[in-house]
Amino acid sequence: MRNKIIENIKTIFYAFIIAIIIRSFLFQPFYIPSSSMEPNLLIGDRLFVSKYSYGYSRHSFPFSPKITNKRFFNKLPKRGDVIVFKTPTDNRTDYIKRLIGLPGDKIQMINGDLYLNDAKIKKIPVKIDYQINCGNQILDVSSYEEYLPNKIKYTAVYKKKGTLLNTDEFIVPNNHYFFMGDNRDCSRDSRFLSSVGYVSEENLVGKAKIIFYSSDKNKGNFFKFWKWNKSLRHSRFFKEIK
């Protein structure tokens, strides 16, 4: 009996170690709790983030242990990547946003248009009526396909009334990055220097790769299986994140 208990403990321990290795060095699951990346990421999406895409830092590991301030096997992210990072204000909270500005870039909103290094980012209106949320509100938005200089395109939405037309000019420091949410008027991101601001390369956690599961919590949850036909978003299962 005693030997069986010891073997079970060993099995649990080895499984725990393997899980930690996979989570720290390969893939980590994340849950989307807010609407800041709508319409591309929805509340209730569950996704895998690759931990190896940009190398490793202390934030690659559970609880971000203060063992080093360096990155190892560092790889530079690409403009337009959807990235999970730790917020600079507490080095603990996970945010997911789109990378817009690289070190040395100049970024500014002018008359509702996004400018990158004094060049206006091309955007084309999209004739799709998305239901865009912001907390308990549903926003009346205009949708656009935006095209970054490296030919990455994505959908971004702006409020038809009350959108943030103009901002200060932001110049991204060395070894830092500038992030924005695709739901432009419902995103706490690098435009807000006191709460997010410029994100150090050390704070990058990984690249969002694929949605493996998605459900609308307003229509049911995992345990109410009789509502799965209404709550599960089957079309989003195993959807690549762009």
Helix (H, G, I), strand (E, B) or coil at 37: coil
- Taking residues 59-68, report their average pLDDT: 88
The reported pLDDT for the residue numbered 225 is 58
The reported pLDDT for the residue numbered 70 is 84
Residue 227 has pLDDT above 70, yes or no: no
**Structural domain count, the chain:** 1
Domain CATH number, residue 30: 2.10.109.10
- Taking residues 65-84, report their average pLDDT: 92
The residue range of the domain holding 36 is 2-240
- Taking residues 118-139, report their average pLDDT: 92
From 84-88, 175-179, 229-233, the region with the lowest mean pLDDT: 229-233
Query: What's the pLDDT band for 39 if we cut at 50, 70, 90?
Result: very high
Helix (H, G, I), strand (E, B) or coil at 186: coil
Helix (H, G, I), strand (E, B) or coil at 72: strand
Choose among 108, 51, 114: nearest CA to 85. 51
Identify the active-site residue in 34, 35, 36, 57: 36
From 38-42, 125-129, 190-194, 210-214, the region with the lowest mean pLDDT: 125-129
Please report which helix (H) or strand (E) contains residue 230, including its range. Answer: helix 228-231
Identify the active-site residue in 57, 60, 86, 97: 97
Q: At 116, phi and psi to the nearest 5? A: -125, 115
The reported pLDDT for the residue numbered 224 is 65
- Taking residues 20-30, report their average pLDDT: 88
Query: What's the pLDDT band for 230 if we cut at 50, 70, 90?
Result: confident
| Catalytic (active site) residue 207 | no
| Catalytic (active site) residue 35 | no
Residue 43 has pLDDT above 70, yes or no: yes
The percent of residues above 70 in pLDDT, for the chain, comes to 95
- Taking residues 69-83, report their average pLDDT: 93
Q: Given the DSSP bridges, would you call strands 106-110 and 170-171 parallel, antiparallel or unpaired? A: antiparallel
Helix (H, G, I), strand (E, B) or coil at 143: strand
Torsion over CA: 91, 27, 103, 154 (sign): negative
- Taking residues 148-160, report their average pLDDT: 96
- Taking residues 232-242, report their average pLDDT: 93
- Taking residues 180-205, report their average pLDDT: 95
Query: What's the pLDDT band for 60 if we cut at 50, 70, 90?
Result: very high
Distance of alpha carbon 239 from alpha carbon 152, whole angstroms = 17
Choose among 229, 209, 189: nearest CA to 46. 209
Residue 18 has pLDDT above 90, yes or no: no
The reported pLDDT for the residue numbered 220 is 64
Residue 147 has pLDDT above 90, yes or no: yes
Residue 3 has pLDDT above 90, yes or no: no
Query: What's the pLDDT band for 226 if we cut at 50, 70, 90?
Result: low
Residue 84 has pLDDT above 90, yes or no: yes
